[in-house]
Structures are given as structure tokens and as C-alpha cells.
């Protein structure tokens, strides 16, 4: 037991003398994988309505356009944009884009995601279109 304690002290002193170690890239290693669940309803398209899983890095899940969807999310991330942020626009055009609703939950880049998309006005429509093909487009 005494030898083990002496070894631990000696190892700690040797490590301290060698200087600090560079930080490990733990952020990406410890973060949750990029996995989203996308629930679409009221789109009027039975092929689109339902629940779709999207996994990225590598692209997978049962999302019909997984590779393109992950590429879109990566593009927005490189641009420094949060693809799931609520619209902060105050003046939105009075146009109706349909009754489709999309709820996106899961984890993206280590952050929890839980947001809803609709097409009630111009701002909502623009927010939805910004996330195509993660969300279905008008001609999906």
C-alpha cells in the first residue's frame, strides 16, 4: 500500500514538472450524437406526414433525404446560424403557407433541440424554407 501511494505521489510530481498538458478535444467526444426526430403533420401529403429520424456524422436514420438534410444543417452551422432558432421578426407578411406543422426534437451539435415549425405567415414560411430539406419542401 505504501509503495502504491509513493508511486502516485512520484507520478503526480513528474507530471507537474513536465508542465501542463494541452487540452483534450473532449467537447465533441463527450457531446451527444447529432440525432433529430422530425414529426410532420397536416402537410396534406401522406408520404411526408409521420415521424422521421435524422442522424448526421454519418448521415443515417429513416429520413428520406438524410445526406442533403445533414449537409444543410452543416452549412448553416458553418455560417454561424442556429437552424432551430425562433424567428425574431416583428413584421411578417400576411400570407398563409398551409396547415403543415413540424416538431423537431433531439440533439444537434451538443445542444438540445425542441422546436416547432409552422407556415402561418411570411416569417414562419421563410423559417421553414430555410431548413429544407430537413423539413419537407412544397413539392416533397
Q: Which fold has domain 28-130?
A: Subtilisin Inhibitor (3.30.350)
- Spatial separation of the C-alpha atoms in residues 84 and 131, rounded to whole Å: 8
pLDDT score of 65: 93
pLDDT score of 55: 97
**For the chain, what is the total number of helices (H) and then of strands (E)?**
4, 4
pLDDT score of 70: 96
pLDDT at 135 over 90: yes
pLDDT score of 19: 53
The residue whose grid cell reads 416533397 is 140
Q: Place 139 in a pLDDT band, splitting at 50, 70 and 90.
A: low
pLDDT score of 24: 42
For residues 14-23, b (16+ Cβ closer than 10 Å) or e, as one string? Answer: eeeeeeeeee
Amino acid at each position: 500500500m505504501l509503495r502504491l501511494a509513493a508511486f502516485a505521489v512520484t507520478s503526480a510530481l513528474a507530471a507537474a514538472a513536465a508542465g501542463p498538458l494541452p487540452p483534450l478535444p473532449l467537447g465533441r467526444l463527450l457531446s451527444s450524437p447529432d440525432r433529430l426526430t422530425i414529426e410532420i403533420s397536416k402537410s396534406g401529403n401522406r408520404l411526408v406526414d409521420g415521424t422521421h429520424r435524422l442522424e448526421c456524422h454519418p448521415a443515417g436514420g429513416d429520413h428520406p433525404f438524410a445526406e442533403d438534410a445533414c449537409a444543410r444543417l452543416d452549412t448553416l452551422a458553418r455560417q454561424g446560424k442556429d437552424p432551430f432558432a425562433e424567428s425574431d421578426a416583428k413584421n411578417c407578411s400576411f400570407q398563409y403557407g398551409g396547415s403543415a406543422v413540424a416538431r423537431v426534437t433531439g440533439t444537434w451539435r451538443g445542444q438540445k433541440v425542441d422546436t416547432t415549425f409552422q407556415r402561418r405567415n411570411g416569417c414562419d414560411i421563410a423559417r421553414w424554407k430555410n431548413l429544407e430539406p430537413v423539413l419537407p419542401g412544397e413539392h416533397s
